[in-house]
Amino acid sequence: MFQATGVAPGVSGFVNITDFKGGKVGFGAEDNGGDLDSFFVKSVEELPYNISVIQISKALPSAIAEAPTPGPSELNITGIMSAHGCIVFADTLLANPEAMGTYEDNLNGGLTVFCPLDDAFEAFLPKYNNLTASGKESFLEFFGVPVYQSLSMLKSNNGLMNTLATDGASKFDFTVQNDGEQVTLKTKINTVKITGTLLDEQPVAIYTIDKVLMPRELFKAAPTPAPAPAPEEAADAPKASKSKSKSKSKSAPTPESDAPADSPDDDPADQTADDNAASS
């Protein structure tokens, strides 16, 4: 299975199996010169055509397979962050020996890091530069949690979480919440989203976040805008009389309008009536 990992060079991981006379079977690792110095003892389990487990007399040596993997304290966490879109945060952390030392001290016991992506952290640098020296240290430590938290653990362990900056009265905590597969970190100032996983190998996990999470101990929440005052009621305007409104409308004529309309002063009919009255 060492060859199946893709990291075994050459013939490392290959095994020489030789059937000797009298039912004796020898085993030897190819990268150990092929020496047949281990032998078949017995069958432990046989699942035909799929799995066979046997016992051999001694382990097969392989200097390459036994090479130690880097321990947590040897991990270059800033290098991992820099290579995956968090170079500004990583460089800022390296420039602060006190905060960097706190991260390194927690590597072996368990550490989870949330690093803001470059665009977000670079835009935030003016606010960071305005902090005091102790404020900068606490701020950088705020992005680390002194326990290992896999993504599945973050999804199930919703609630308050202490950070490397937590110290007695200085809470420096945030709330973990998830909505389905999306995990968010929240303070009283703002909320950020986990956008990717850079490393998840116990005891260390590193995630990217889309914005800079701001602790309430160092920053003030934006004031809630006061509700706009309700508009004052306008003074009652005089209501138009019904007769005027009706005269402007195109509705059916009122009873008064049933009488014949007055003829113009120079109506010929009126002039004839006046002439007849004068002759009589």
Question: DSSP string of 136-179?
Answer: HHHHHHTTEESS---HHHHHH--EEE--TT-BTTB---EEEEEE
* 105: helix, strand or coil: helix
The residues pairing with 197 across neighbouring beta strands, listed in sequence order, are 207
What was the pLDDT predicted at 203? 92
The residues pairing with 206 across neighbouring beta strands, listed in sequence order, are 113, 199
Tokens of 199: 């490393």
What was the pLDDT predicted at 70? 57
User: Taking the complete model, does pTM exceed 0.75, yes or no?
Assistant: no
Residue matched to tokens 């009389």: 241
Geometric angle at alpha carbon 88, from 157 and 125, rounded to 5°: 90
Residue ranges for the chain with pLDDT beneath 50: 234-235, 237-280
Enclosing H/E stretch for 192: strand 191-201
Task: Please name the amino acid found at residue 241.
Answer: S
What was the pLDDT predicted at 232? 59
Q: Do 173 and 165 form a contact (C-beta atoms < 8 A)?
A: no
CA R_g for the chain: 44
Of the options 3.30.830.10, 3.30.565.10, 1.10.760.10, 2.30.180.10, the CATH number for the domain spanning 77-209: 2.30.180.10
All structural domains of the chain with their residue ranges: 15-56, 77-209
Q: Do 27 and 19 form a contact (C-beta atoms < 8 A)?
A: no
What was the pLDDT predicted at 180? 86
What was the pLDDT predicted at 14? 83
What was the pLDDT predicted at 278? 41
What was the pLDDT predicted at 280? 39
Residue matched to tokens 């409308």: 249
What was the pLDDT predicted at 131? 97
What was the pLDDT predicted at 231? 62
Closest to 213 in 3D by CA, of 228, 195, 238:
195
Q: Do 172 and 217 form a contact (C-beta atoms < 8 A)?
A: yes
CB count, 10 Å around CB of 54? 13
What was the pLDDT predicted at 274? 44
